[in-house]
Amino acid sequence: MAVHTTLPYRFFLSIALLSITAVSEPTDLTTELVSLRSSSESGVIRLNDVSKFITSVATPRPYSLIIFFNSIDLNSNPLQNFRREFGFVSASFIANNNNRSDVTNKLFFCEIDSSDSESFHRFGIQSLPQICLVDPSMENLRHHERGMMEEADVDGTAESVAEFVESRTKLTVGPIHRPPLLSKTQIGVIASLIAISAPFLIKKFLKGETFLHDSRFWQYGAVLVYFFSVSGTMHNIINSIPMYLRDPEDSNRLVFFYEEPEIQLGAEALSVGLLYTGVGLLLAYVTDALVRVRNVNEQRVAMVLVMVVSFLAVKRVVYLNNWKTGYQIQMYWPSSWQ
Amino acid sequence: MAAVESSLPPGTPSAMRNAFGTVLSALILVLIGVLAFSIRLFSVIKYESVIHEFDPYFNYRVTQFLSKNGIYEFWNWFDDRTWYPLGRVIGGTVYPGLTLTAGTIWWVLNSINIPLSVETVCVFTAPVFSAFASWATYLLTKEVKGSGAGLAAAALLAMVPSYISRSVAGSYDNEAVAIFALIFTFYLYIKTLNTGSLFYATLNAIAYFYMVCSWGGYTFIINLIPMHVLLCIVTGRYSPRLYIAYAPLVVLGTLLAALVPVVGFNAVLTSEHFASFLVFIIIHVVALVYYIKGILTPKMFKVAVTLVVSIGLVVCLIVVAVLVALVASSPTGGWSGRSLSLLDPTYASKYIPIIASVSEHQPPTWPSYFMDINVLAFLVPAGIIACFSPLSDASSFVVLYIVMSVYFSGVMVRLMLVLAPAACIMSGIALSQAFDVFTGSIKYQLSSNSKDDAEDNTTTKNAPKDDAASGKTDKGEEVAKERSSKKGKKKEREPADKPSVKSKIVKKKALVLPLETSIVALLLLIMLGAFYVIHCVWAAAEAYSAPSIVLTSKSHDGLHVFDDFRESYAWLSHNTDVDDKVASWWDYGYQTTAMANRTVIVDNNTWNNTHIATVGTAMSSPEKAAWEIFNSLDVKYVLVVFGGVIGYPSDDINKFLWMVRIGGGVFPHIKEADYLRDGQYRIDSEATPTMLNCLMYKLCYYRFVETDGKGYDRVRRTEIGKKHFKLTHFEEVFTSHHWMVRIYKLKPQKNRIRGRAKKLKLKTSSGVSSKSAKKNPWM
């Protein structure tokens, strides 16, 4: 080392340093970022000029950038929800470190849209959602593996982003502040509406005139709950299963029925639930409504129709069940009959 | 119906028919009881009279203790054979209903000199109680829609697969008696509601007490009944009968429930019970309002209402605020994890892996409904509609019951069991109504034909019909029973109904359907019933009778029996010291304590997540780390269940990811991702090094390659990744006949002084072999 600390070397070094500062003044950039941040709603900066803030700034930069790669054109709900969550992290970060500019000016939350294809290319973004942390020393954007959030962690919640930031930057984000579901004025309006309408509702209720006193309401409700339960809707909600799949071999063909007893698709579940419920409703129709019909021929036609439909429905369910589970019910005929 | 029957004067022909009907229904009920009992004996006939699965072994062990040591010892029993080193207070943490029931049966039988073993009593408790349950169903449905529907529902319940799955002979578990208690409690509630009798209300509280003793599912009752009361109030159906049905149940029931040690103060402290207290307050307010309404003039009443409503609202708000504050101050909001996962179905999968890991806590798909309640799924909607015409207090209760249970069954497949009685009741009502309408139409038209035509013409027409019907009956015995129940109902009901029906006919011009379509519809319904019977018998015989402690498989060269579990537990009990500790995954805890009588670290009573996570971590760790964990727990033997040789799919390798998850939940250095290759769980050559080096892999696949030379796993259908390896810290001591159970012994820790002496010796002799000694310090 001592060899290099000669005067010419020092001179060269200072020139080089000077030239760098001339290209981009880090402190200026920080203030510019701060102003950009204060102008945006949740503190997420729309990064239009990647080179200005990242590539043309000499490392180590005085700040880190955490970039959310967004695509408004994609019009994907989960992506936009994630973007909102990202905004919450940004806002919480600023709010939690409000009085400490030395902390808040270390990290800026940014966003790059897919319309800026050049930046996407620079980062080598192949899939969304993606979050990248550009730390002060990072130079080559294409080799940014260490800055990328791991795929397993990108689960779309603000907490995962905050955890990622905290683990990589040693800055604390603090608790995430989400805006309440209803704003205070909305709550006030709703509460006052309830308070005003309560006496009327109670009066109506005491007179027995609400829909709650209509047994039809309960009847339809009961049948609906039954329908959704026997079709296994809860299974589909909990495991967030789609209505149908595309055939992996032929993308034009849709798969509605899945041959595995533990898994069902949405359309499949609803159609079988319909068959389950439909037969019962038809039976109820015959025993409750059709008996009151005066015209015998009408009764006859309706009953034949009902019986054919019910028979086919039951047959269909039995067939589907055997196909799906692979069970075959043994009939236990005497062995001499077989 | 009952009122009509009893109002008939004695001695008349209708009274005679009535008496005949009563005798016939009694006979049918006896047959239903026999059916319910005998359909559950497939497991005994096909296998042997043996206790099944996991939990029943624990119950069996408790019953043994109870019958040997008496009830006081049982109440104070601290079991040091499980959850080592923590132990477990059995008397205070177990629902005693089942064990007390079986213990009492055993004691009674023995005192009248019928020397049955405790095991036999335990094996047959469930079938006996399913007969009781079908009788209770009859009573309940009779209260709702008459005895015809009651008989149909009882026959359906006697063989509903969902219930059979939990009550075959040998399945000695809480649900076996709890379902009877559940239905019987509901029956007494409805009975009180219909009669307003305090006698039944007291019985109801006692039945509820029995239910609380038997099963944690009692919370379903204590939430469903308040909901029904609230529903009645909201829909303007309040009556003093409702008050009598509800208020004594809450007061007496809660007091009695608090007597059960496992419930104790939970009966007033946890959120599961809050609904009942809230409704208790509301019903008093409503009762007061009705009382005031009775003593005041309408005008005065209006004034009073405004007053009471305004004060009442304030009081309600305060109470609600206090409740919310109380509930919010407890960590899970006062709700237990299982109940929470019912309300928010996604809760368990997110936060409680130990609940999510149990397959019976998963939400079911539609084939589950077909498997478990079969054609009842088609009939229930008709039953719901029938309950609404007309809607009574009783029928609104069963509607609420079916709606709630069907929703809960949709969240957790295990609760299909609670749905089954409701589905049977509803289908019974639907079937009975349909049979009523169709047979009524046929009978009416035949009799009206007979009026038009000659008399003898009708008799010839009538006779073949009956013959055809009875000819069908002979085909299957079960069909006969189910059908005969309908016949009984018909015969019993028609005499009483006929006059009123006829008078209606005259006025309204007949509520009937065409003759020939009615006959076809009747036949179709009978076919549906026959299909149900066939399905139920098949399910009882094939699907639900396996004791899972003895396995069988059929192949071209005959029947194979795999009795490895009992073989291994017997080995443990004969070849190990009484105080040795055996570690295994929690599934096998109960069996090990009950059959091998050895101390276990964790068992199926998953009360301590950390302890289970410790075992999970040990199984997921490399050999040395695992040895250290097990050694710190005094474990002598490690037992693993391995199905790779015979293709037994529910073995430890398939459960292993849950061990990782549960372990990782407490000890973060265990990460699920380390065991997965690209998100896939594999044990072949693509498996991750962490997977190939973890204890579970090594214990399962140690020497596995010697079986066929290739190491082909018949469950995972692949060749294993690491075939030749040696164990450093464990030694194999036992592998069962079909390799299903493998038991390893922990190698003893190196004696330090001897080791040093050895080293010294080695140094003096030669330095050559010191290297190998260092490599394997445990030898």
To the nearest whole angstrom, how far is the Cα of B516 from the nearest Cα of chain A? 9
Q: Is A324–B367 a contact, with Cβ atoms under 8 angstroms apart?
A: yes
pTM greater than the 0.80 cutoff: no
To the nearest whole angstrom, how far is the Cα of B154 from the nearest Cα of chain A? 20
Asked, for residue A140, whether it belongs to a domain, the answer is: yes
Q: What residues in B contact A219, CB-CB < 8 Å?
A: 384-385, 388
Q: Does residue B360 belong to the interface with chain A, where contact is any CB pair within 8 Å?
A: no
Chunked in runs of 10, what are the mean pLDDT values of chain B (779 residues)? 47 83 95 96 90 90 93 90 88 90 95 94 95 96 94 95 92 92 96 94 96 92 94 89 94 94 87 88 88 83 77 81 72 60 63 66 88 92 92 93 92 90 95 93 86 51 37 37 40 40 46 88 93 92 86 81 92 93 91 92 86 93 92 93 89 90 90 86 88 92 88 89 90 92 89 57 49 44
Across the range A283-305, mean pLDDT stands at 90
Q: What residues in B contact A198, CB-CB < 8 Å?
A: 313
Is A149 found in the same domain as A33? yes
Q: What residues in B contact A273, CB-CB < 8 Å?
A: 366
Q: Which of A169, A192, A210 is the last residue of a domain?
A: A169
**Closest chain B residue to A235, measured at CA:** B363
Structure tokens at B188: 């007494």
* pLDDT attached to residue A25: 60
Is A145 found in the same domain as A234? no
Q: How many helices (H) and strands (E) does chain B have?
A: 36, 13
Strands B676-677 and B635-641: unpaired
To the nearest whole angstrom, how far is the Cα of A21 from the nearest Cα of chain B? 45
- CATH number for the domain harbouring residue A153: 3.40.30.10
Q: Is A235–B520 a contact, with Cβ atoms under 8 angstroms apart?
A: no
Structure tokens at B144: 């709702």
Is A235 found in the same domain as A121? no
Extract the runs of DSSP E, i.e. beta strands, from B332-468.
Answer: none
pLDDT averaged over every residue in chain A: 77
**Closest chain B residue to A267, measured at CA:** B366
* pLDDT attached to residue B508: 47
Is A232 found in the same domain as A134? no
Q: Between A202, A272, A277, which is nearest B309 by CB?
A: A202
Distance CA A15, CA A7 (A): 12
- Chain A 100-159, CB below 8 Å of chain B: which residues? 152
Distance CA B709, CA B707 (A): 6
Residue keyed to tokens 């502040």: A177
Is A134 found in the same domain as A43? yes
Asked, for residue A1, whether it belongs to a domain, the answer is: no
Q: Which domain holds residue A53?
A: 26-169
Structure tokens at B251: 């007061």
Q: Does residue A334 belong to the interface with chain B, where contact is any CB pair within 8 Å?
A: no
Distance CA B420, CA B618 (A): 41
A210 pLDDT above the threshold of 90:
no
* pLDDT attached to residue B186: 96
Q: Exposed, middle or buried, B554 (CB in 10 Å: 0-12/13-18/19+)?
A: exposed
Q: Which residues of B709-744 are buried (b: 16+ CB within 10 A; e: fewer)?
A: eebbbebbebebbbeeeebbbbeebbbbebbbbbbb
Distance CA B577, CA B754 (A): 26
Is A221 found in the same domain as A164? no
Distance CA B759, CA B711 (A): 39
Which residues lie below 8 Å from residue A44, measured CB to CB, with a gap of 6+?
A37, A68, A86, A87, A90, A109, A110, A111
Angle between helices B240-257 and B198-214 (to 10 degrees): 40
To the nearest whole angstrom, how far is the Cα of B409 from the nearest Cα of chain A? 8
Gyration radius from chain A CA atoms: 33
Asked, for residue A190, whether it belongs to a domain, the answer is: no
Q: What residues in B contact A287, CB-CB < 8 Å?
A: 382, 386, 433-434, 436-437
Asked, for residue A196, whether it belongs to a domain, the answer is: no
Q: Is A232–B345 a contact, with Cβ atoms under 8 angstroms apart?
A: no
* pLDDT attached to residue B178: 94
Q: Between A239, A280, A294, which is nearest B430 by CB?
A: A280
What's the DSSP call for residue B608?
Answer: -
Main-chain dihedrals φ then ψ at residue A178, nearest 5 degrees = -100, 145
- Chain B 403-462, CB below 8 Å of chain A: which residues? 403, 406-407, 409-411, 430, 433-434, 436-437, 441
How many CB atoms sit inside 10 A of residue A239's CB? 15
Is A161 found in the same domain as A51? yes
**Closest chain B residue to A213, measured at CA:** B235
* pLDDT attached to residue A26: 63
Asked, for residue A14, whether it belongs to a domain, the answer is: no
Asked, for residue A191, whether it belongs to a domain, the answer is: no
Helix (H, G, I), strand (E, B) or coil at B741: strand
How many CB atoms sit inside 10 A of residue B374's CB? 30
Main-chain dihedrals φ then ψ at residue A109, nearest 5 degrees = -90, 125
Is A220 found in the same domain as A131? no
Helix (H, G, I), strand (E, B) or coil at A281: helix
Which run of H or E residues covers position B576?
Answer: none
* pLDDT attached to residue B608: 85
Residue count of chain A, please give it.
338
Is A271 found in the same domain as A136? no
Residue of B539, B242, B575, B557 whose CA lies nearest to B416: B539
Structure tokens at B87: 């132990």
3-state DSSP percent of chain A in helix, strand and coil, to 5: 55, 10, 35
Residue of A12, A219, A185 whose CA lies nearest to B390: A219
- Per residue, what are the HEC states of B640-675? EECCCCCCCCCCHHHHHHHHHHHHHHHCCCCCHHHH
**B599-600: strand order across its sheet:** B599-600, B581-583, B635-641, B741-746, B730-735
Beta-bridge mates of residue A64: A107
Q: What residues in B contact A281, CB-CB < 8 Å?
A: 381-382, 385
- Chain A 152-191, CB below 8 Å of chain B: which residues? 152
* pLDDT attached to residue A136: 76
- Chain B 209-268, CB below 8 Å of chain A: which residues? 234-236
Q: Does residue B364 belong to the interface with chain A, where contact is any CB pair within 8 Å?
A: yes
- B355, B370, B448, B675: best to mutate for the A interface, most A CBs within 10 A: B370
Distance CA B625, CA B484 (A): 67
- A283, A295, A297: best to mutate for the B interface, most B CBs within 10 A: A283
Asked, for residue A144, whether it belongs to a domain, the answer is: yes
A199 pLDDT above the threshold of 80:
no
Q: Is A324–B509 a contact, with Cβ atoms under 8 angstroms apart?
A: no
Is A223 found in the same domain as A98? no
Residue pair B339/B272 in contact by the 8 Å Cβ criterion = yes
Structure tokens at B175: 């649900």
Residue count of chain B, please give it.
779
Q: What residues in A contact B345, CB-CB < 8 Å?
A: 234, 237-238
Q: Is B371–A325 a contact, with Cβ atoms under 8 angstroms apart?
A: yes
Measured over the CA atoms of residue B557, residue B563, residue B565 and residue B568, the dihedral's sign is: negative
Q: What residues in A contact B436, CB-CB < 8 Å?
A: 287
To the nearest whole angstrom, how far is the Cα of B390 from the nearest Cα of chain A? 10
Q: Is B382–A208 a contact, with Cβ atoms under 8 angstroms apart?
A: no
The tens digit of pLDDT for each residue in A74-125 reads: 666 777 777 888 888 888 887 777 767 777 777 788 888 777 777 777 777 7
Is A205 found in the same domain as A165? no
Q: Between B362, B365, B378, which is nearest A264 by CB?
A: B365
Is A153 found in the same domain as A79? yes
* pLDDT attached to residue B185: 96
* pLDDT attached to residue A147: 65
Asked, for residue A295, whether it belongs to a domain, the answer is: yes
- Chain A 207-266, CB below 8 Å of chain B: which residues? 208, 212-213, 215, 218-219, 221-223, 225-226, 228-235, 237-239, 261-264
Domain count, chain A: 2
* pLDDT attached to residue A155: 66
Main-chain dihedrals φ then ψ at residue A186, nearest 5 degrees = -60, -45
Distance CA A325, CA B681 (A): 24
> Residue A134 — pLDDT band, cuts 50, 70, 90?
confident
